[in-house]
Structure 1
Amino acid sequence: MSLAPASWLPLLVLAGALAWTPARATDVACGAPVEAMEAAPMAGVFAALSHTDLRILVVGSASTQGGGTSGRAATWPERLQSVLAERVAPVTVAVEVFGRRGTTASDHARILAEQAPRLRPHLIIWQLGTVEAARGLPVEEMAETVQEAVARLHAVRGERTDVVLMDPQFSRFLRGNADVDSYRDWLRIAAAASGAQLFSRWAIMRHWVETDRLDLERAPTAQRVAVADRLHDCLAQAMAEFIMSGAQRGRLPRN
C-alpha cells in the first residue's frame, strides 16, 4: 500500500476533520434549532484543522467553572474539548479555561490581553452578560469593552483567531428581575461591529425549555445536578456544531 506524500498530510487531516454535514434540528445538539448552529466562516479554526492542533481559549464567569454540575469535568468547556476531539481526530484539541464567579466583561478583557498572546488561540469563546444583567451594569460599557478587546485581538492575531461571544443562559428568574434583553441586544451589536460572532445560549436554552427537553430551573432538587450535567453536555454539543459549521465555511487566513 502506498503512503501519501508528507506534503499531502495536512490536507488529508483537514478533509477528514471537515467530513461533516449539518444535521436536522431533531437529531443534533440535543434538539437545538438548526438556525442557531449556522456560523459565519471561521478562518482560524479552518487553518488549525489543516494542521495538527486546535487551541481554544474560553473566558467567562461561573458556568465555565462548575455552574451547579457534578464537577469540573462536566462543565461545557471540558465537554466541548471531548466532543471536538472525537470529531476532528487526529487533530488534537486543547481548551484553556479562565473563569470565575462574578467576573465581568472588563475582567475578561484583562484576561484576554494577558493570555491570548501566550496561548495564540485559534478560537476564543467569550461567555458574558449574565453578571452585567444581574447587577444592572451599564450595557453600553459592556459593549464598548467587547469591541475594544476584540479590536486589540484582531490587531495582533488578525484572521488567525476567531472570536465567538456567548450570551447569558436562559433563566426565568433573570428575565423577571433584569432587563436581560438589552444586554443580549447589545452583545449582538458588539459582535457585528467587531467582527466577532454570537452564539445565542439564551435562544438555544429557551428552545429546550419550551420543547420540554431541558429545564434546569424546574428540575426536582434531587435531579438538579444530573440535569445541569446534561445541560452542559448539550451546550458543548451545540457549540461543537456551531464551530464545525464555521470551519466548513472557513478559509485560510491571508498573510
Structure 2
Amino acid sequence: MLTGFMAVVPARAEDAPATCEVPAYLLSSESALPKVAEVVKKGGKLDVLVVGSRSSTINTSDGTAYPSRLQAILREKLPGVNVNIGVELQIKKTAEEVAAGLGKLAEERKPTLVIWQTGTVDALRSIDPDDFRVGVDDGVAALQSAGTDVILMNLQYSPRTETMISAAPYIDNMRVVAQQRDVPLFDRFAVMRHWNESGDFDLFSATHGVELAKRVHDCLGRALSKFLIDAAHIGPAQQN
C-alpha cells in the first residue's frame, strides 16, 4: 500500500499550490557529509545514488519524481558542480535484503553519496524491528566501507495507513543507526506529516491525482536539497 502511495497521492479540495514549508529542525543534522563537501569545494562531479522503492518514482516520464527534482534544484543552487543523480529501485525488498548488495553496488557505481530510502517494506511485512535495525546497520556499514557518504530516509507518512501498520519501531531504529553510524537521517515521515497537518496536502482524502503527486515530489526535492546542503555545510558563498 505505502510503496505505491506517492503515485496516487490524493489531491486537496482547493488544489492550491503547496508552500513546502518545513520546520528548520527537520532540515538540519548534526551528522555531516564530508565527501559531498569536498566535491562542492573543488567544483567537481557530485554523483548521488538514490536507493529506494516505488515511492522514489511517479507514473510519468517527465522528470517530476523527487530524485529528478533534487538534481534540478542542486544544479541550480550549485552551478559550479556537475550534479548527477541516479536511482536504483529495490522493489519489495526488506532492509536486510537490500543491505546485502549495497557494498557491491557502491563499488560499481562509485557515488559520492547514497540516499537510502527504506522502512516501508519492513513495516508492511511486520519484520522484527531488531532485525530491521541490523539490516540498516549492515547496509550503512557496507556503504561507508565502500567510501561513500550516506543519507538515510525513512518511510513516508500516510494517515490512511497509520492505523494499519506500526511505523514507530522502524523510525526509531533508523534513528538509532543514524546516530551510531554518524550519518544524517532525512525524516520524510515527519516532513510529510507536517505538510498534512498544516493543510499543504490532504493525505487522507480518497481522491487521487498525479498532478498532486508531482507537487509533493517537488516539495520533497526542495526539502531534501536544503537538508543535503546543511549536512554538507555548504555556505552561501558556494551557492547560486
Q: Do 1:60 and 1:128's aligned partners in 2 also have CA atoms closer than 8 Å?
A: yes
Report the equivalent of 1:147.
137
Matched, 1:234 2:224: no
Residue correspondence of structure 1 range 29-68 to structure 2 within 5 A = 30-39=20-29, 40-51=31-42, 52-66=44-58
Q: Do 2:102 and 2:142's aligned partners in 1 also have CA atoms closer than 8 Å?
A: no
Higher relative contact order (CA 8 A, sep 6+): 2
C-alpha distance in 2, partners of 1:219/1:177?
A: 16
C-alpha distance in 1, partners of 2:181/2:233?
A: 22
C-alpha distance in 1, partners of 2:38/2:21?
A: 29
Say if 1:107 and 1:79 are closer, same or farther in 2 by CA, change over 3 A.
Answer: farther
Q: Which 4+ residue blocks in structure 1 deviate beyond 6 angstroms?
A: none
The Cα shift of 1:249 comes to: 6.4
SS in 1 for 2:162: helix
Which residue of 74, 92, 114 corresponds with 1:84? 74
Q: Do 1:48 and 1:54's aligned partners in 2 also have CA atoms closer than 8 Å?
A: yes
SS in 1 for 2:160: helix
| Gap runs ≥5 in structure 1 | 1-27, 251-255
Matched, 1:168 2:155: yes
Q: Deviations over 1:7-46 (max 9, x none)?
A: xxxxxxxxxxxxxxxxxxxxx9710111111123210110
Q: Deviations over 1:199-237 (max 9, x none)?
A: 10010000000000122442633xx21111100110010
- What percentage of aligned pairs have identical amino acids? 33
Say if 1:122 and 1:57 are closer, same or farther in 2 by CA, change over 3 A.
Answer: same
SS in 2 for 1:124: strand
Report the equivalent of 2:112.
122
Q: How many residues were matched structurally?
A: 216
TM-score normalized with structure 1 length? 0.79
Q: Do 1:104 and 1:132's aligned partners in 2 also have CA atoms closer than 8 Å?
A: yes
Letter in 2 for 1:116: A
| Gap runs ≥5 in structure 2 | 1-17, 236-240
Residue correspondence of structure 1 range 171-190 to structure 2 within 5 A = 171-190=158-177
C-alpha distance in 1, partners of 2:189/2:88?
A: 21
Residue correspondence of structure 1 range 201-212 to structure 2 within 5 A = 201-212=188-199
Please identify which structure carries the higher helix content.
Answer: 1
Kindly report the root-mean-square deviation, in angstroms, between the aligned alpha carbons of the 2 structures: 2.0
Which residue of 217, 227, 230 corresponds with 1:245? 230
SS in 2 for 1:95: strand
